């Protein structure tokens, strides 16, 4: 067992843990001793790599069930790492700003609120679920190329709110229909996209403008 553990640079204790959680099950002798075969090494190497990439053991167990799950897990992890890298770039920028003689804490605090309106801690199950939902939505947006359409719709809704419109006024109902059509195009009949959109909007709820959410929720219920 020690020789097998050394092949992947893990400890015997780690192998025992992987056995207990069902990630890597060795053959057992009649006396109950664990026996690892050469055929077990590729799976152990997969576990080692995925763990290094930041996947939890629960995610790894799910990912190794089939290639489709593995591909999805890798895409979600890539999204999470790129998000984290972008956040670190912002941190470096803010540190540069704080080195200036005149520090605008109010402006920086506002910037932080915009960047972190919602979100569970990294590594949590909720964070993983959120990253997966955001990844699905991001891929759909890229495929549809609807950035300008979304911008114009959001702009028009905010202008309507500023003008006193609600989802029940004539102009408000027209915006709800327009938003409903946008949601239909975005989801495209895919239940996973609908679930992702529902989850993300639910996470944003504490920071969202109530009037703005009213338009979206009315459109979403009717979509």
Give the model confidence (pLDDT) of 173-196 as tens digits. Answer: 999 999 899 889 889 999 999 998
pLDDT (0 to 100) of residue 53: 93
Confidence class for position 147, pLDDT limits 50, 70, 90: low
What is the C-alpha to C-alpha distance for residues 37 and 27, in angstroms, rounded to an integer? 8
**β-strands 27-28, 34-35: how paired?**
antiparallel
pLDDT (0 to 100) of residue 206: 43
CATH of domain 2-52: 1.10.1660.10
Mean pLDDT of 48-73: 93
Phi, psi (deg, nearest 5) at residue 116? -125, 60
Mean pLDDT of 104-113: 70
pLDDT (0 to 100) of residue 123: 63
Of the candidates 64, 71, 58, 75, the one whose C-alpha atom is nearest the C-alpha of residue 136 is 75
Of the candidates 199, 208, 47, the one whose C-alpha atom is nearest the C-alpha of residue 129 is 199
Mean pLDDT score across all residues of the chain: 83
Confidence class for position 23, pLDDT limits 50, 70, 90: very high
What is the C-alpha to C-alpha distance for residues 57 and 46, in angstroms, rounded to an integer? 12
């Amino acid at each position: 067992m020690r020789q097998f553990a050394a092949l992947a640079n893990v400890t015997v204790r780690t192998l025992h843990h992987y056995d207990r959680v069902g990630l890597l099950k060795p053959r057992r002798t009649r006396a109950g001793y664990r026996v690892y075969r050469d055929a077990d090494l590729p799976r152990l190497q997969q576990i080692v790599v995925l763990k290094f990439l930041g996947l939890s053991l629960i995610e790894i167990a799910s990912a190794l069930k089939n290639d489709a799950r593995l591909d999805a897990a890798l895409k979600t992890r890539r999204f999470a790492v790129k998000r984290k890298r972008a956040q670190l770039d912002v941190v470096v920028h803010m540190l540069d700003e704080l080195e200036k003689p005149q520090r605008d804490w109010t402006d920086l605090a506002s910037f932080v609120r915009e960047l972190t309106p919602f979100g569970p801690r990294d590594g949590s199950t909720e964070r993983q679920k959120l990253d997966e939902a955001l990844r699905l939505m991001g891929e759909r947006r890229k495929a549809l190329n609807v950035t300008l359409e979304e911008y114009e719709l959001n702009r028009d809704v905010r202008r309507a709110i500023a003008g006193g419109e609600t989802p029940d006024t004539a102009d408000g109902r027209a915006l709800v229909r327009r938003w409903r059509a946008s949601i239909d195009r975005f989801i495209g009949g895919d239940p996973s996209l609908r679930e992702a959109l529902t989850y993300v909007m639910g996470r944003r709820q504490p920071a969202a403008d109530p009037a703005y959410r009213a338009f979206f929720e009315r459109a979403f219920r009717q979509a």
